[in-house]
Amino acid sequence: MKPQAIKFIVLIAAVNILFSPPYSHAQLPSWNDSLSKRALVAFVERVTNFESPDFVPPKERIAVFDNDGALWSEQPMYVQLAFALDRVKVLAEQNPELREKQPFKAALEGDLKTLAESGERGLMELIMATHAGMTTEEFAVIVSDWLATATHPKYQRPYTECVYQPMLELLAYLRENDFKTFIVSGGGVEFMRPWVEEVYGIPPEQIVGSSIKVKYEVRDGQSVLIRLPEIDLIDDKAGKPVGIHKYIGRRPIMAFGNSDGDYEMLEYVTSGLGPRFGMIIHHTDAERESAYDRQSHIGRLDKALDDAEKYGWVIVDMKNDWNRIFPEAAR
């Protein structure tokens, strides 16, 4: 870009700022004018207004978001599990003996009941076989390639388009108000990093997630990191405040979740000093998405629903508070 072009853009930007109203709510068009939206906007206005006693300087405006069920759909199964199941198929082509070995046999046959019965150990075996052994850069390519072709079984669109439009608007709204937005997910951090920047506008260095260990090596003259079949961090439940502390190093002032896996994160964030905001996305829309809470195996929301009032966590009723769920299809 030529200097003249840059100067022109700067001038236009300055003129825009000069003539824009001080606050604009036009950023959240997919949110109905509900109590949850009003609480959200009121909080953001309160902490960004320099003259408010609750003003928070921009560097402390940290907002953390769960991913599965909070930013994108997690039903009928976590997207990362769908990835692992598809990945077993590829591996079985290379190693046919996997076809007779559990939990791979169950995975190949789509027998989720037997797979679940293999317990944590079986699931871990499945995850390690599909997620470890390659370099970090190779794994990123595997994830990107899969996402480019896989489609959601119910919505028949790429998983990266099964993200919630109201939450995309919320992320943008917070960033416009000088918030730094982070993901804090029980999902694998390396499963998210390849696509999250493009889809949510959140860079790789602002993603906290579960992880396996890696090892540095110079292999064939290339400096690489090898993914090892060994758990490093389970960023779920009480692991979420731990992950937040490790990666972010200060207590966020806003937290967004949707399940009991987010309980400790919400508790940690909203019990700090000063203005705090916690929000729970409640899946109430069987028609446009899914309706589930206390009885669900995936994304169970029970204890956090009971205690929301006590902590002042705001509940989003997806069916009534959101006038659309997913963005326009890109293709």
Interacting span for its own copies (CB under 8 A) from 90-98, 101-109, 186-194, 287-295: 186-194
Residues 285-314 that bind its own copies (CB under 8 A): none
Positions in 192-211 near its own copies (CB under 8 A): 193, 197, 203-207, 211
- 196 closest CA partner among 72, 27, 97, 95: 72
The end-to-end CA distance of the chain, in Å, is 30
| Residue 22 found at the interface with its own copies (CB under 8 A) | yes
Token pair belonging to 259: 């399940």
Contact predicate 229/212, CB 8 Å = yes
Tokens of residue 16, six digits: 């825009």
Smallest separation, CB 20 to its own copies (Å)? 10
Backbone conformation region of residue 201, classed left if phi is above 0, alpha if psi is from -120 to 50, else beta: left
3-state SS, residue 71:
coil
Which lies closer to its own copies via its Cβ, residue 182 or residue 322? 182
Stretch that binds its own copies, among 30-38, 65-73, 218-226, 285-293 (CB under 8 A): 218-226
Residue 231 engages its own copies in binding (rule: CB under 8 A)? no
**131 sits in which H/E element:** helix 119-131
CA distance 282 to 302: 11
Single residue of 268, 277, 322, 326 touching its own copies by CB under 8 A: 268
Site string for its own copies, 242-261 (x = CB under 8 A): x--xxxxxx-----------
Contact with its own copies (CB under 8 A): which of 223, 287, 328, 330?
223
* Rounded Cα gap, residues 163 and 153, in angstroms: 14
Q: How far apart are CA 62 and CA 44, in angstroms?
A: 12
> 7 or 154: whose CB is closer to its own copies?
7
Kind and range of the H or E run holding 224:
strand 222-233
Binding site for its own copies (CB under 8 A): 1, 3, 7, 10-11, 13-14, 17-18, 22, 50-51, 59, 62, 136, 180, 182, 189-190, 193, 197, 203-207, 211, 214-216, 218, 222-223, 225, 232, 238-239, 241-242, 245-250, 264, 267-268, 271-272
